[in-house]
Amino acid sequence: MKLNFKNLTVQVVIAIIIGILVGHFFPKFGTELKVLADIFIKLIKMVIPPIIFFTVVNGIAGMGDLKKVGRIGGKALLYFEIVTTISLAIGILVVNLMKPGSGIDMSIAGNADVSKYTEQAAETSHGFVDFIVGIIPENVVGAMAKGELLPILLFSVMFGLSLAAMGQKSQPVIQLFDKLAHGFFGMVNMIMKLSPIAAFGAMSYTIGKFGIVSLFTLGKLMASVYLTMFLFIVLVLGAITKYYGFNIFSFIKYIKDEILLVLGTSSSESALPKMMEKMERYGCSKSVVGLVIPTGYSFNLDGTSIYLSMAAIFIAQAYGIDLTIWQELTLLGILMLTSKGAAGVTGSGFVTLAATLAAFPMIPVEGMALLLGVDRFMSEARAITNLIGNGVATVVVSKMENEFDPNREVIVEAEEAAQAPNQIPVTN
């Protein structure tokens, strides 16, 4: 089969392969290429707040029903809680069966310093009340500037409901916001052209800094994490998708471009704007996409949950700490709280792990040094699992609400064709 080098997916795959080679053979140069990925992620983060704002406002204003908004939000949060709890439990079960920490050579931790992660965890409040208060922005412009998803989402929902209450008078604003949303998605398409360069830079940095050798040092842990995430996607998400009438493998194929982007950049946030657009094309309504995807990026981090539970018990095994069933259930309860505030950004799982261990003193925080060498590699698995999990959640909630139309992609394409006056329609 002939490769189409103009295809973005092919470009990203080639960039990842070249990045691995550059990082391996020229490690010093490879580590300096991280700036390429940083620039790309900053460009993506630049457009995320306005896209969420315009998309959610239009979706809510279009619904015009406060009860419906509450119902969709309630179903989404209930789904998130059930599925992330299952993912935490699966992580604990597999790590206990495979015991990747038993007999580990503690010298691989070296003199690694984990203080910056523990300090970040200490500065970040993980309490329930503080978390709820933190959702309310003191200044919406400040929340936009910082890219804080949940405060932006809350403001967007309230503004959308306000417009809905105005009735026909709000139509000029809704139409303007719709045009602005299309403009920002156009910017995303421009930025996405840089994704192969970002994937190349990120992979060069990862291999150059940590080396392929680190994969073999903690290979059993990495194999356990990847296996668990594979089982979660195929068995748990597969069962959910089958129940709701779609196929997990077909769905993964549909979002393959976003998965490859996440693989290259190690950040699920890099794919957020395109994922919202893809989910609407797949058949989900704009209102459900606008509510579920941004909320899921804070509440439905399946991959991060699996990693947190496995990493915590791995450290306990490495130190020879034998946890009782009640201690593991206590750890599960703590993880159910700490995992909810982790954002879909590279490294956030490590900070959340520090916060979890600080609240569970039976496992030494210093043990995180064991994970430093391979955390970046597992970050990719976390981010991909988070992305797939949020995509599945969006389809499920859409189907629950009868807000799913499999022909929506055809409608969206027709609307885009109508908005492109210079485009000549092709008829069969």
DSSP state of 341: G
Rounded to 5 degrees, φ, ψ at 65 are: -140, 110
Q: Write down the pLDDT at residue 134.
A: 67
Q: What is the DSSP string of 83-137?
A: HHHHHHHHHHHHHHHH-TTTT--GGGGTT---HHHHHHHHHS---HHHHHHHHS-
DSSP state of 427: -
Closest CA to 381 of 296, 307, 297: 307
- Whole-angstrom Cα distance, residue 355 to residue 357? 6
Q: What value does the CA radius of gyration of the chain take, rounded to a whole number of Å? A: 22
- Whole-angstrom Cα distance, residue 360 to residue 287? 39
CB–CB of 356/312 below 8 Å?
yes
CB–CB of 342/299 below 8 Å?
no
CB–CB of 33/200 below 8 Å?
yes
For the chain, the straight-line distance linking the first and the last C-alpha, in angstroms and rounded, comes to: 27
- Per-domain residue ranges for the chain? 8-403
Q: Write down the pLDDT at residue 424.
A: 41
Closest CA to 221 of 91, 50, 53: 91
- Whole-angstrom Cα distance, residue 307 to residue 318? 16
- The tens-digit pLDDT sequence of the chain (428 residues) is 566 667 777 888 888 889 889 988 888 898 888 888 888 888 888 888 888 888 888 878 876 666 777 888 889 889 998 999 999 899 999 999 988 877 666 555 555 555 554 555 455 555 556 666 767 878 888 888 877 777 888 888 888 888 888 878 888 888 898 889 888 888 888 888 888 898 888 888 878 876 776 566 667 888 888 999 999 999 999 999 999 999 999 999 999 989 988 888 777 778 888 898 899 999 998 888 888 888 888 788 888 889 888 988 988 888 888 888 888 888 888 887 776 655 444 456 677 787 778 778 788 877 777 777 677 778 888 889 999 999 999 999 999 988 888 876 655 555 555 555 444 444 33
What is the pTM for the complete model shown? 0.77
DSSP state of 65: -
Query: With respect to CATH, is domain 8-403 assigned 2.60.40.420?
Result: no
SS3 state at 319 = coil
Cβ-based neighbours of 89, under 8 Å, separated by 6 or more: 309, 332
